[in-house]
Structure 1
Amino acid sequence: MIDATTTAAPSQELAGAELVRAYAGGAVSPVDVARGVLEDIEANNPAINAFSNLDPEQVLADAAASEARWRRGEPLGPIDGVPCTVKENLYRVGIAARAGTASSDPVMPVRNSPVVDRILEAGGVIVGSTTMPDWGMLSSGVSSLHGVTRSPWNPDWTVGGSSGGAGAAAAAGFGSIHIGTDIGGSVRLPATWLGLATLKPSDGRVPIDNPYLGRAAGPLARSVEDVALAMSVLSRPDVRDYTSLPPEKLPWDELDVDVRGKRIALHLEPGAGMPVDPEVRAAVSRAADLFSDAGAEVVELKPFMNERYLENMDAFWRVRFWRSYVDLTPEAKTRVLPFIATWVHGGADVSGRKALEYFDSIADLRRATVDATQPFDAVLSPVASVAAFPADWPMPWGHDDAGMAHISFTLPYNMSGQPASSVNCGFTSDGRPIGLQISGRRFADLETLQYTSWYEKARPANATPTFPSGS
């Protein structure tokens, strides 16, 4: 475990928004911040394993260019000089991407993903690409290519997944803003198990050039303010994403909200999958009490998930990745993570009729989610039923195959396209973070972040993370 008593580098002391203010006033140099981040990575990343790619010379060159712009008074955008990371599957020109698996040849991108372009256009300094598990289909940091990515809080704990490297980098202070992707909980699960803030945005809010049913890209950070700062850069239309939303100037820096009179749902029973740990339930209930005490009307939300939805989603994904697996050479198949190789066989030779049944079930889940949540301004729930599990487990229950039993709270909002955040709301008795999920109506991304910011400011000290710091 990293010694939390050591002195932090400038990048760890200052959030992204604070860094920009410091750059503008000449109090801090982007080059000094970049050097501090790189020193932290050199000292602490060997125990964490957050990166799939690092190029310190390029990082320093980009930071020097930012410093020159600030000296001229000509910053490119609201994150000029802010250190950022991007998940491995968010393509960067000339940097090999392998989707976390040792089984297939690397993709050498010839163009950046929209996310990467938005960061660079705004002057962000990309520190590196972060790790992910095989094909992004595990909720842990276990990868046949990268090995195990571990929690900065405690190397014995999981980072979650599939944006595990992004979460690890955020918790370790390897930059201010970290972008992951989420198709069933993949930015919110690392956030809950690492004490972070995040937003899984509405479909199309953050363009990606490989849109897929339920997939979104979203920022992870130590604060809601930095999540909002990232969204101010990322949430711009891009023709490469056919789901991209039309232009909309949202005031992402306006995070204040009055919760009095708001109708807030409290969703504690998943309806399917893993039962909720009592410590998780208690932490989320205490968070709901704060909303109630502040004048919100808090109403219990009955479960709207069921085992059929979970099982059909799991089966649909198995079919999808069986197609990837079956095209591999026999030798390449031996390099797939054994857990994933076993899992994809559940999708072998599924009939077209069954595959359509799985697909139709997704539409049913979407309808059920919208019907259940539409009456409310926001819905409070756990992100996950359990806190962090051992780092070398591929899933929260270990190495057995339990399908997708852990995503009953997160999956619905991917399929419905609604925004959903995570913010830390407490700790287990042994110190593991617990995340509160706050979901909103579709396209109410800013409103959802406002409720998340409200809770972040209102939460007690014993629910507020003090992140471990490195060298």
Structure 2
Amino acid sequence: MDDELAWLPATALLQGYADRAFSPSEVQAAVESVIARREPTLHAFWQHDPEDAAKAARASTERWAAGAPQGPLDGVPVTVKENIARRGVPMPAGTAGPAPRTPDDNAPVTDRVLEAGAVVLGSTVMPDWGMLSSGVSSLHGISRSPLDPRLTTGGSSAGAGAAAAGGYGPLHVGTDIGGSIRLPGTWLGLATLKPSDGRVPLDAPYLGRAAGPLTRSVADAGLLMSVITQPDPRDWSSLPAAEIDWDTTGFDPSRTTVGVLADAGCGLPVDPEVAAVTERAAEVFREAGATVVPLDPWMRPELLERLDRFWRVRSLVDLDALDPQAQQRVLPFIVRWVEAARGTSGTELMECYTAISTIRARTVDATLGCDIVLSPVAPMAAFPAERPMPWGEDDQGMAHIGFTAPFNMSGQPAATVNAGFTEDGRTIGVQLAGRRFDDAGVLRAAAWWEQHRPTSAQVDWPSYDR
């Protein structure tokens, strides 16, 4: 089967099914051909279910032949991150430490994509407890970039990013508490969205946590959002049902105020090549009529350090719950990272929690006058795949998430789209964040940028396979 079908966007697959140009079974076979060739290098899957996927694709093929598709994703290949529950599939959270929990029920996201007729290919990997921005895991080994296997996928939605950029079908769901969707976005050239707090119902809500799409086109991200945002009573933090138009067209830059955040105010300095790409993107918006204004940084180093400590203590609790043998199986980098928080007092932990509220308030306040906030996603481009963090094995906390984490804490939606390349060919994305709950508006801005960015900023993912 021609592997080209594996690279088509979901929107084109659905049109092709409707026109009977090809079938879901043909597409699934093409995707499996790509997976068979690339998975030994990429390591995107925790659990890969080709037989179940083939069965689902055959059922979808029959529905399309009868002119009765089941839903808006009927026959479209999808993956979900391993921390999104699938009935009967163990959830190790990327670590070899504890025995993984096996859920009896699907997460809301899983139920929604199945109800929509999607062909679920399997569950994708993550690093230990999702606390690394790479594909390094004590359980899974190392996930690698489809663009260059020497480089990281980013994380913690490492497998989802590898699957999206690697041609494992068009739609992939990751999770994000500080950048875990958007960092693979910038380091793999993807179109992604970290949704508003509560927009996508979760089975395990957590402060700042969101689930959202990693795709190769903004239109596909909008299509997936139209499905996974359906309300579910199991998530006590989810937003009320809302009629949202997920059409990604219609953005008018001349009626838009774009705030440009060039300096996060904390963490590592921005690499000059990353800064230059962000500046050029701002100029494209300005030339199209947008009101472009610089934003002063509102984050401070101590705020990011306290957020980092809060997460360390959370993972320290998880580590201490394990027996000594299980603790030894956890990635050594993670053990060192959490042990640095041992001895944190209750008072200090409350100061960390208060810092999160401060980040939320400052982020909302600083961006009130903007429809869109344009910034780098991360201060640097992709780094070697073997490194757990951009700087290697050293402990620099969360010095790379000064641009992304504030929008988790504030609950504002934030997308990524590729905007350029380094001189040595690594992708550089920009982040486009928006007003609280304006997920559709952010996607429309991202789609406009996708269409109006320089041709040189477009990513030809199949060429990396060839």
Q: TM-score range by the shorter chain?
A: over 0.9
Q: 1:334 aligns with which of 316, 328, 331?
A: 328
Q: TM-score scaled to structure 2, two decimals?
A: 0.98
1:361 lines up with 2:361 in the alignment? no
Q: Which amino acid aligns with 2:298?
A: F
Distance apart, 1:65 and its partner CA: 0.9
Distance apart, 1:127 and its partner CA: 0.7
Aligned to 2:461, the other structure's residue is in SS state: coil
1:251 lines up with 2:231 in the alignment? no
- Listed as ranges, the gaps of 5+ residues in structure 1 are 1-6
Q: Which amino acid aligns with 2:182?
A: R
Report what 2:127 is aligned to.
133
1:317 & 1:436 partners in 2: Cα distance? 26
Q: Which amino acid aligns with 2:390?
A: P
Report what 1:85 is aligned to.
79
1:241 lines up with 2:235 in the alignment? yes
Aligned to 1:318, the other structure's residue is in SS state: helix
Distance apart, 1:71 and its partner CA: 1.3
Alignment of 1:77-156 (within 5 A): 77-156=71-150
1:333 & 1:317 partners in 2: Cα distance? 18
Q: 1:165 aligns with which of 137, 159, 174?
A: 159
Aligned to 2:329, the other structure's residue is in SS state: coil
Q: Which amino acid aligns with 1:216?
A: A
Distance apart, 1:248 and its partner CA: 1.0
Deviates further, 344-353 or 109-118: 344-353
Report what 2:387 is aligned to.
393
1:311 lines up with 2:305 in the alignment? yes
2:196 & 2:51 partners in 1: Cα distance? 36
Report what 1:214 is aligned to.
208
Aligned to 1:406, the other structure's residue is in SS state: coil
- Listed as ranges, the gaps of 5+ residues in structure 2 are none
Aligned to 1:218, the other structure's residue is in SS state: strand
Does the 8 Å CA contact 2:154/2:184 hold for their aligned counterparts? yes
1:57 lines up with 2:51 in the alignment? yes
Does the 8 Å CA contact 1:370/1:416 hold for their aligned counterparts? yes
Distance apart, 1:8 and its partner CA: 6.3
Distance apart, 1:14 and its partner CA: 1.5
Does the 8 Å CA contact 1:31/1:63 hold for their aligned counterparts? yes
Aligned residues: 465
Distance apart, 1:367 and its partner CA: 0.4
1:61-120 deviation line (CA, Å, top 9, x unaligned)? 010111111112111111110001000000100111100000010111100010100000
Does the 8 Å CA contact 2:367/2:373 hold for their aligned counterparts? yes
Report what 1:371 is aligned to.
365
Distance apart, 1:347 and its partner CA: 2.3
User: Where does structure 1 differ by over 6 angstroms across 4 or more consecutive aligned residues?
Assistant: none
Q: TM-score scaled to structure 1, two decimals?
A: 0.97
Q: Which amino acid aligns with 1:458?
A: H
Does the 8 Å CA contact 1:319/1:348 hold for their aligned counterparts? yes
Report what 1:428 is aligned to.
422
Q: Which amino acid aligns with 1:317?
A: W
Distance apart, 1:325 and its partner CA: 0.1
Distance apart, 1:254 and its partner CA: 4.2
Q: Which amino acid aligns with 1:434?
A: I
1:321 lines up with 2:312 in the alignment? no
Does the 8 Å CA contact 2:186/2:378 hold for their aligned counterparts? yes
Report what 1:3 is aligned to.
none
Alignment of 1:1-20 (within 5 A): 9-20=3-14
1:39 lines up with 2:23 in the alignment? no
Report what 1:416 is aligned to.
410
2:22 & 2:220 partners in 1: Cα distance? 18
Report what 1:232 is aligned to.
226
Aligned to 2:255, the other structure's residue is in SS state: coil
Does the 8 Å CA contact 1:11/1:173 hold for their aligned counterparts? no
Distance apart, 1:218 and its partner CA: 0.4
RMSD (CA atoms):
1.0
1:445 lines up with 2:436 in the alignment? no
